[in-house]
Structure 1
Amino acid sequence: MSSNSSPVYLVGVDVGTGSARAALVTGKGEVLQTCVKPIQTWNTQPNYYEQSSDDIWSAVCECVKNVTSGYAKEQIKGIGFDATCSLVVLDGQMQPLTVCPSSKDNQRNVILWMDHRAEEEARFINATHHQMLNYVGGSISLEMEVPKLLWLKRNMHDAVWTKVGAFYDLPDYLTFRATGADCRSICSAVCKWNYDAEDRCWSEDFLKTIGLVDDLRVDNWRLIGTHVANPGAAIDGGLSRQAAQELGLNPGTAVASSMIDAHAGALALLGCEGPPGRAGDGGSLTSKMAIICGTSSCHMSLTKRPVLAPGIWGPYKHAIIPDLYLNEAGQSTTGVLIDYMLQTHPCYDQLLKEHGGSNGKIYAFLNTFLDELAKKQGESSVHRLTIDLHIWPDFHGNRSPLADPNLKGMISGLTMTKDVQNLALIYLALMQALAYGTRHILQVLEASGREPITSILLCGGLSKNSLFVQTHADICSVPVLLPTEPEAVLLGSAMMGAYAAGLYDSLELAASGMGGSAMVVKPDLSDSTRDYHERKYRVFQRMYLDQRGYERIMKG
């Protein structure tokens, strides 16, 4: 990092599923200020989730003004943006254009990442077996943008398709609002839009095969992007005058090409190291897996050579670090599923009253309750409490490695009991099931030729849950690293801002220079614990096969 007598700061912006956030960060990665503002989501029919780009930008501006208040504008050198991989639709005047078939409200112009309306379109695309699908594990997800584009063409042709001026991935929309420049990040383009990263171009053959090429290639691909930059690259001109006024910053402040939120978190995590000289300190960049675990979970790992793994997205070249390949897996519901299981249990209201109206406090209570229950029952490990209770966690489909949005959740071992102990055991079994899902992802990656993962790095809300963390370490048999700076996603965006501002010579150097250190949680590698999880993992795998068998029976 370049030396300077006066302090310099970066701003990181993160737009998640339910809120916009900003952080003020030093050039060495210390987060000084954070602010969060909620954003609105419409869910007026099953599987349809919509947001407003104006509402999102307003929340972003409020957050940035909040965290930079009291600091000299000239000391704020760069800003980076990340967001969910949601689809933003604008009209010919670059104003919001509705994506809601039941409303003419143009404020509802964002199809949220978790929207599942494009199931038929994803099925149609997958039936082509086009070679570009090899880069998404052989099967495109209905959560990606191309199925959603096809849905809009088929279902809102007159209302949207004929009037559209631009389609953006939400992270790129934020840099557009910040600069006025039509710059797309290869992170979004390759990971969610089926962009060809090897040849750095849109695949005309793929888009022709699915019936979109004639619509999208007009004016040199103006609707979906003509200029595609690496993450963190400085966008020409920096912050526009209008955006500078809205954000409370100086015009010309460096603006970085964006990342998807999970990828920004992965950047920060992969730059993080454990204590010096300690076993399990994270190893090389390509031996780590970063898991960003919030509403859903994203599993990110980098390789020097491309790895094609069934049901797992990638290899995506340049998506995080130039010239490295990203494999991206995930679980569609994690934090939201844990909340669902808690909130639908008969004793939830009782626990809510007893623990101050906070789900987080309930989880802390359940963790302690389970430890005490294990001791009371003479068990050497809390995990043994679920010997006859098993969960398959795909209540909202499977993102990886089975890539099936129609899979359902399963529970085996229910009784008539509805007390706190019953909830605690279901909660534990779900934690185990989510970790078995991660183990399944690791297993498929390594079977596809990936070098073994030697450590997992966690960030997001679930990284604060000690049971979730230890369960992942035990079931995956590797150390889990927890960064001392918990705001990894915001930090990742600030790293991009630092690189764009010229504080570091590469994004990788920004990550290592700002990534900080981590606490190491070691796995229980005792024979008894490993044997127990081996047996439960076999049950986990059998539950999937059973569900498939039930489908075959019922379909005749």
Structure 2
Amino acid sequence: MRVKTGYYIGIDVGTGSARACVIDHTGEIVSVASENIGLWQPEQDYYEQSTSDIWRCICLVVRRALDEHQTPASQVHGIGFDATCSLCLFSTETDDPISITAPDFNTERNVILWLDHRASKETDTINATGHKVLRYVGGKMSLEMEIPKILWLKNHMPEETFAKSKFYDLVDALTHIATGGEARGFSSMVCKQGYLPKGVEGSEKGWQEDFLQEIGLGELADNGFDRIGGVNGETGRHLNAGDLAGTLCEKAASELGLLPGIAIGSGVIDAYAGWIGTVGAKVEMKQQPTRNVNPDSALSGRVEAFSRLAVVAGTSSCHIAMSPEPVFVPGVWGPYRDTIFPDCWMAEGGQSATGQLLKHVLDTHPASKQALASAKSTGVNIFEFLNTRLNQLAVDKGVHCVADLARHFFFYGDLFGNRSPLADSKMRGSLVGLSSDISIDSLVIHYYGTLEFIALQTKQIVDTMNDSGHHISHIFMSGSQCQNDILVNLIASACNMPVVVPRYIHAAVCHGAAMLGVKAATMVADGKTVDLWDVIDEMSQPGKAFYPTEDKHEKALLRAKYQVFLDQCVRQREYRAIVDNATCDS
């Protein structure tokens, strides 16, 4: 693989912070820096950010990462971006940010964050159409997607302001800023926007004009869809991950502490960068997956990736799988073609809250402050403290395994709604087995029950994907939750498959973004770059594998708990229907 000796930068914009990592030409991370970004919540379920603030933070972290390793700017050859799938507004006339803050639309905030749920009515309107594009977003759009948010803006902002607005996915907006406007196209945004690549369902232009007309956004089709990225090859470009999107402009280079002309790889949504930085982890497997793919096919070199599910686990968790053909899964977003590799399809499941769920459960328990104080006094973080307490409690009570401590504790944790596989934002939590105990030991049981829920719901998502036609046999997991051996072991045992954790647990997303810069920097005179899978394969570092439990008692207990989990899932919807039916005429 023809990679220049030197350095590459990955820039990750998450929900609450911007991070930059510098890697060398072998894939080794040499420095990482982070900075919190602004987040405004003007109303319940409204979440807003500013691209100006985000770019300021990006400049800080890139300079900090370069300084930390004393990396010469002249030795940086490529940059890659990833970001949350958030909607950004800019002026069609001046390219300045346009406010998204109702009712006056007069702030510097021009980003509606991915987790913003303001567009509930618009989402229902869109899903009521039953349009064919909905089949490619798991059957119906989520209120977290961007088309419902654009429709909300049309319904709420001044007509003349909306008419002069152009719309970007956040990662495309950052690329646009970095190139000084050179890059105007679309990459990650297309997978959430009712877009069907050429040849899919008879699509000729990608964007579906009849769909936009039906939901009340027909004006977006004007001028070759230029307000949402254009038509590929005509008024815009659809790039695959890591394709050369442009080069760093002089203004952005000066702000970042770099030199102009550096190659910028087409960016991806943060979870997809996590996929890139996770699925190539090197580990000796007890068994290798098999998959029938034509050895002469361009896909044959990445056959192992088709059986690997990437779980990117942070505030929420995304479950991303790739397949050589479209696989339709209820409640799972996609399949999306060409988002990472040409002619490959990506499917994206998810849990709306995992890290956030754990935080909520711990923060709201009466023993929370006591546990935090005890953890601090022993010099460990709260999760290390709770894991140690769990193991000691199992010994003290003489139970067969830790799982026995919560054998009659049944926690269902969709407190923030369900993304997959139910795609039901009205889902909530339930608990059977609540006692009057408010001690730290009670907190430990609640904590374990939450870990168990996360693992069992992961199994539900994996089973649904495999039942629909995927061939997942291994989970590759990254993110902050990978530090928790109890959780990782639970997921391996619940799903009955190995879980591989990459070397860079915290920085897998940044690492994946940097690989996009590596690919872009390999472009030669004929316009071709190396295959992204070759970059992933060569630059991924050794990982660690966790295997399912061999203990028959624990296996039987988890099987039983999964039956209860599924019943809790079904019963909640039945209870809602009973009440709604009883009061429908009142």
Question: TM-score with structure 2 length normalisation?
Answer: 0.90
**Partners of 1:359 and 1:300 in 2: how far apart?**
36
1:16 to 9, 14, 17: 14
- Answer whether contact 2:3 2:518 (CA < 8 A) is retained: no
**Partners of 1:87 and 1:357 in 2: how far apart?**
43
Deviations 1:244-301 (A, max 9, x none): 11111111100011100010010111222213x6446998111110000001100001
The reply to whether residue 437 of structure 1 matches residue 435 of structure 2 is: no
Aligned to 1:322: 342
1:249 to 229, 252, 258: 258
When residues 314 and 357 of structure 1 are mapped into structure 2, their CA distance, relative to the original with a 3 A threshold, is farther
The reply to whether residue 295 of structure 1 matches residue 315 of structure 2 is: yes
Give 3-state SS (helix, strand or coil) of 2:42's partner: strand
Q: Percent identity?
A: 37
**Partners of 2:229 and 2:177 in 1: how far apart?**
15
Aligned to 2:202: none
**Partners of 2:173 and 2:354 in 1: how far apart?**
27
The reply to whether residue 234 of structure 1 matches residue 249 of structure 2 is: no
The reply to whether residue 472 of structure 1 matches residue 494 of structure 2 is: no
Residues 302-313 of structure 1: pairs in structure 2 closer than 5 A: 302-313=322-333
Aligned to 2:295: none
Give 3-state SS (helix, strand or coil) of 1:153's partner: helix
When residues 2 and 163 of structure 1 are mapped into structure 2, their CA distance, relative to the original with a 3 A threshold, is closer
**Partners of 2:258 and 2:289 in 1: how far apart?**
38
Give 3-state SS (helix, strand or coil) of 2:115's partner: coil
Shift of residue 411, structure 1, vs aligned partner: 1.5
Aligned to 2:153: 152
The reply to whether residue 45 of structure 1 matches residue 43 of structure 2 is: yes
Residues 381-460 of structure 1: pairs in structure 2 closer than 5 A: 381-451=401-471, 453-460=472-479
Residues 533-548 of structure 1: pairs in structure 2 closer than 5 A: 533-548=558-573
Aligned to 2:269: 260
The reply to whether residue 505 of structure 1 matches residue 505 of structure 2 is: no
The reply to whether residue 496 of structure 1 matches residue 501 of structure 2 is: no
2:389 to 369, 375, 382: 369
Give 3-state SS (helix, strand or coil) of 1:337's partner: helix
When residues 128 and 176 of structure 1 are mapped into structure 2, their CA distance, relative to the original with a 3 A threshold, is same
Give 3-state SS (helix, strand or coil) of 2:89's partner: strand
When residues 375 and 68 of structure 1 are mapped into structure 2, their CA distance, relative to the original with a 3 A threshold, is same
Shift of residue 545, structure 1, vs aligned partner: 1.6
Aligned to 1:88: 88
Aligned to 1:111: 112
The aligned amino acid for 2:319 is: H
- Answer whether contact 2:186 2:229 (CA < 8 A) is retained: no
Aligned to 2:121: 120
2:501 to 474, 479, 482: 482
Alignment length (residue pairs): 548
Aligned to 1:30: 28
Give 3-state SS (helix, strand or coil) of 1:80's partner: strand
Shift of residue 103, structure 1, vs aligned partner: 4.9
Aligned to 2:131: 130
The reply to whether residue 217 of structure 1 matches residue 210 of structure 2 is: no
- Answer whether contact 2:3 2:25 (CA < 8 A) is retained: no
**Partners of 1:124 and 1:440 in 2: how far apart?**
29
- Answer whether contact 1:274 1:281 (CA < 8 A) is retained: no
**Partners of 2:360 and 2:3 in 1: how far apart?**
49
Shift of residue 353, structure 1, vs aligned partner: 2.2
The reply to whether residue 59 of structure 1 matches residue 57 of structure 2 is: yes
- Answer whether contact 2:172 2:187 (CA < 8 A) is retained: no
- Answer whether contact 1:78 1:253 (CA < 8 A) is retained: yes
**Partners of 1:341 and 1:456 in 2: how far apart?**
26
**Partners of 2:272 and 2:415 in 1: how far apart?**
24
Aligned-residue CA RMSD in angstroms? Answer: 1.9
Aligned to 1:75: 75
- Answer whether contact 1:477 1:525 (CA < 8 A) is retained: no
**Partners of 1:105 and 1:513 in 2: how far apart?**
48
- Answer whether contact 2:289 2:307 (CA < 8 A) is retained: no
More displaced 10-residue stretch of structure 1: 307-316 or 356-365:
356-365
**Partners of 2:124 and 2:568 in 1: how far apart?**
24
Shift of residue 553, structure 1, vs aligned partner: 2.0
When residues 281 and 33 of structure 1 are mapped into structure 2, their CA distance, relative to the original with a 3 A threshold, is farther
**Partners of 2:499 and 2:399 in 1: how far apart?**
24
- Answer whether contact 2:212 2:221 (CA < 8 A) is retained: no
More displaced 10-residue stretch of structure 1: 294-303 or 194-203:
194-203
Structure 2 residue runs of 5 or longer lacking an equivalent are 200-204, 231-236, 291-302, 524-528
**Partners of 2:104 and 2:288 in 1: how far apart?**
53
The aligned amino acid for 2:222 is: V
The reply to whether residue 197 of structure 1 matches residue 197 of structure 2 is: yes
**Partners of 1:345 and 1:543 in 2: how far apart?**
22
Structure 1 residue runs of 5 or longer lacking an equivalent are none
- Answer whether contact 2:412 2:453 (CA < 8 A) is retained: yes
Aligned to 1:208: 213
When residues 332 and 350 of structure 1 are mapped into structure 2, their CA distance, relative to the original with a 3 A threshold, is same
**Partners of 2:248 and 2:500 in 1: how far apart?**
36
**Partners of 2:286 and 2:462 in 1: how far apart?**
23
The aligned amino acid for 1:187 is: S
- Answer whether contact 1:187 1:318 (CA < 8 A) is retained: no
- Answer whether contact 2:169 2:188 (CA < 8 A) is retained: no
- Answer whether contact 1:306 1:325 (CA < 8 A) is retained: yes
- Answer whether contact 1:455 1:479 (CA < 8 A) is retained: yes
- Answer whether contact 1:186 1:197 (CA < 8 A) is retained: no
Shift of residue 387, structure 1, vs aligned partner: 1.3
Aligned to 1:274: 283
Give 3-state SS (helix, strand or coil) of 1:356's partner: helix
- Answer whether contact 1:187 1:319 (CA < 8 A) is retained: yes
**Partners of 1:358 and 1:64 in 2: how far apart?**
35
More displaced 10-residue stretch of structure 1: 135-144 or 406-415:
406-415
Give 3-state SS (helix, strand or coil) of 1:171's partner: helix
Give 3-state SS (helix, strand or coil) of 2:348's partner: strand
Shift of residue 209, structure 1, vs aligned partner: 1.9
The aligned amino acid for 1:542 is: D
- Answer whether contact 1:23 1:31 (CA < 8 A) is retained: yes
Aligned to 1:530: 555
**Partners of 1:146 and 1:395 in 2: how far apart?**
25
**Partners of 2:448 and 2:104 in 1: how far apart?**
42
- Answer whether contact 2:18 2:37 (CA < 8 A) is retained: yes
